[in-house]
Amino acid sequence: MTARSGTLFQGLSAFPLTPADEAGTVDTDALGRLVDRLAEAGVASIGVLGSTGGFMYLTRDERRRAVTAAVEAASGRTPVIAGIGALRTDEAVLLARDAEAAGADALLLAPVSYIPLTEDEVFEHVAWIAAATDLPICLYDNPTTTHFTFSPALFARLAKVKTVGGAKIPLPAEGSVAVQLEELTRETGGAIQFGYSGDPRLVTAGLGGAKAFYSALAGALPKEVMSLHTASVSGDAARANEMNARFEPMWNLFRKHGGFRVIPEIAQILGLCSARPPRPVLRLPDAERTKVGAALAQLEGL
Amino acid sequence: MTARSGTLFQGLSAFPLTPADEAGTVDTDALGRLVDRLAEAGVASIGVLGSTGGFMYLTRDERRRAVTAAVEAASGRTPVIAGIGALRTDEAVLLARDAEAAGADALLLAPVSYIPLTEDEVFEHVAWIAAATDLPICLYDNPTTTHFTFSPALFARLAKVKTVGGAKIPLPAEGSVAVQLEELTRETGGAIQFGYSGDPRLVTAGLGGAKAFYSALAGALPKEVMSLHTASVSGDAARANEMNARFEPMWNLFRKHGGFRVIPEIAQILGLCSARPPRPVLRLPDAERTKVGAALAQLEGL
């Protein structure tokens, strides 16, 4: 059995930040440069407006500008997956249509919530959005930010929605990736291609047999993360773990502050763009920024 | 020591739903009627655009229309507290200014989050908003929806922000309300008036000495909930508990579905207004709606 969207939801997907000013106006030139860099590096896909891309902090207009700029910059070299999560179903439908009109190749749908949602509500939400667009949909299971957790039974229901082809899920807190992948693939009849996110455990996912990884760090450091990803999916655990040791200072910063606060500092240090997280999220304090520089130095020459 | 906002954040505060159509356009006439009913019943304050009022599902324009309509309908009889929570600090500042211009008496500030927030970030967020308006602020500690929990130390820091005068907090999962109130009042030097929300435990809060309760059910059933509140703050535990037994079927529905799904059904049954939760949140299934009717019947004659 193969996922219905072919290889779209396979390989290393890189999620850049969305450079924007303090008022939330996207710097489309800077975003275009980030996307071009990812396409040049040869990542499998580019995820614009993911959590790292701050989708929940941008208006519909700014999100449309961001997707348009990303699609133009990728210029057919690399598929673009656009985040369309919104608290209201009708808003997510509009965002899906905007992304389709802008030329995105697929949609990333996070069931963000304020009032905690039931499984029936998330099912209907996804089905409603799927009915409004022809694009393949990747479900985004990220309980830390959406406060919703997909059960295997819900994935099985959603596998019957024709355009649902992928899912971006967190690694299991306990237990093996391989066992989880086998269970979820069985439950969904192979219709959904499951991939992981949560950069500090990229190697665990790769060694566990994950065919897809959705990486925030790859949005800023595509070459380095591609090397790590290649090592992890090659099955050479010794090599992957050896390489991963060099990423450990960076993973510690991710664990401590979240990638959302660390990645703008990386972009700043590397001169990729000037970017700060949107308030209320604050920049890292000076001492932590110094550690980001040191963590980057560990990756030189990869 | 007394809270700096006097009695504004004391007594029973009633939170009506915000009647709106499927596209999120507020029915200001219907909202005005709900507010008038609350003012007539004599609640201590009216909380427009709380969680029950669906603030996170409405645009800035619709929220401005809702606050304006609520202030007009209250017409000086009852203070109006307006919810101004937003993911972006600059958006919350605009909402605060809108509410002030519309004539609201106070602001209810929920630190809603997508990226989990740190205590420093929430402190700065509140201080930034407080600097933009003269209105008293009630902090909204509701981890179930905002995914942020205020620590006593953070309340102590925020007590130094001049206009922060109230806090709407959940009952402690374990331990006593009286002990919690004493600790928080000590930590904040009496500058913040703490009140509770979470309707099924209204009686526990009242018997525990809470001076304020923020009630969703009171937004639809002010007379009945005022009776229960009066009994609970009178200290007559036997009477309060006896009365509370009649509310128990309603509290069970709140626990099972959340007030956000139950209250529109109450409003519909009572003919107060036609209201449905915004998608993705779904109406209760028929069998559960029947139970809402039965739970209402238990309260007749209160």
| Each residue's pLDDT tens digit, B175-224 | 999 999 999 999 999 999 999 999 999 999 999 999 999 999 999 999 99
Helices of type H across chain A: 28-41, 60-74, 89-102, 119-130, 143-146, 152-158, 177-187, 202-207, 222-233, 237-257, 259-269, 286-297
Question: CA torsion, points A182, A185, A189, A193, in degrees to nearest 10?
Answer: -150
Mean pLDDT of B78-88: 98
Query: pLDDT tens digits for chain A (302 residues)?
Result: 345 678 999 999 999 999 999 999 999 999 999 999 999 999 999 999 999 999 999 999 999 999 999 999 999 999 999 999 999 999 999 999 999 999 999 999 999 999 999 999 999 999 999 999 999 999 999 999 999 999 999 999 999 999 999 999 999 999 999 999 999 999 999 999 999 999 999 999 999 999 999 999 999 999 999 999 999 999 899 999 999 999 999 999 999 999 999 999 999 999 999 989 999 999 999 999 999 999 999 999 88
Which pair of structure tokens corresponds to residue B195? 């009140």
**CB of A270 within 8 Å of any CB in chain B?**
no
Among candidate residues A168, A196, A211, A291, the one labeled active-site is A168
Q: List the one residue out of A8, A4, A63 whose CA is nearest residue A211.
A: A8
Calculate mean pLDDT across residues B215-244.
Answer: 97
pLDDT value of position B1 = 37
In a domain? residue B301: no
- Chain A contact for B114 (CB, 8 A cutoff): yes
- Residue at B42: amino acid letter: G
Mean pLDDT of B49-61: 98
Domain assignment present for residue B126? The answer is: yes
Considering Cα of A153, then A154, then A156, then A160, what sign does the dihedral take?
Answer: positive
Confidence (pLDDT) at B154: 98
By Cβ distance, the residue of B56, B124, B279 closest to A114 is B56
Residue among B18, B62, B115, B276 with most chain A CBs within 10 A, to mutate: B115
Phi-psi region of A83 (alpha: psi -120 to 50; beta: other; left: phi over 0): beta
The reported pTM is: 0.97
Do the domain assignments include residue B144?
yes
pLDDT band at B3 (very low <50, low <70, confident <90, very high): low
- CA B21 to chain CA centroid, nearest Å: 22
B residues 191..220 contacting A (CB < 8 A): none
Residue B282, exposed/middle/buried by CB under 10 A (0-12, 13-18, 19+)? middle
- Note down the domain range covering B34: 11-234
Task: Give the nearest chain A residue to B145 (CA atoms).
Answer: A114
The percentage of chain B sitting over the pLDDT mark of 70, rounded to a whole number, equals 99
Inter-chain touch A114–B23, beta carbons under 8 Å: no
Q: Work out the angle between the directed axes of helices B28-41 and B60-74 (0-180°, nearest 10).
A: 40
**Kind of pairing between the strands at A45-48 and B11-14:** unpaired
Contacts of B281 in chain A (CB under 8 A): 115, 117, 121
**Residue A11 bridge partners (DSSP):** A212
Give me the number of domains chain B comprises: 1
First to last CA, chain A: 36
Q: For residue B122, give the CATH number of its domain.
A: 3.20.20.70
Tell me whether residue B123 is in a domain. Answer: yes
Residue B242 lies in a domain: no
| A114 given a catalytic annotation | no
Number of A:B CB contacts under 8 A?
89
Whole-number average pLDDT of chain B: 97
How far does the CA of residue B167 sit from the closest CA of chain A (Å)? 19
**What are the chain A neighbours of B121 within 8 Å (beta carbons)?**
280-282
Contacts of A115 in chain B (CB under 8 A): 51, 145, 258, 260, 277, 281
The answer to whether the Cβ–Cβ distance between B87 and A128 falls below 8 Å is no
Tell me, yes or no, if A168 is annotated catalytic.
Answer: yes
Residue B108 is classified by DSSP as: E
Residue A163 domain flag: yes
Q: B134 in a domain, yes or no? A: yes
Does the CB of B61 have a partner CB in chain A at under 8 Å? no
Residue A149 touches partner B, C-beta closer than 8 Å: no
Question: Which residues have a Cβ under 8 Å from the Cβ of A225 and sit 6 or more positions away?
Answer: A12, A14, A199, A202, A215, A217, A218
**ipTM of the predicted structure?**
0.96
pLDDT for position B110: 98
- Residue B2 pLDDT > 60: no
Per DSSP, the residues of B64-86 read: HHHHHHHHHHHTTSS-EEEE---
Closest to B115 (Cβ–Cβ): which among A22, A122, A281?
A: A281
Burial class (CB in 10 A: 0-12, 13-18, 19+), B223: middle
Q: Which residue in the block uniquely carries the two structure tokens 């275009």?
A: A32
Tell me if B105 is assigned to some domain.
Answer: yes
Is-cis flag, bond preceding A277, omega within 30?
Answer: no
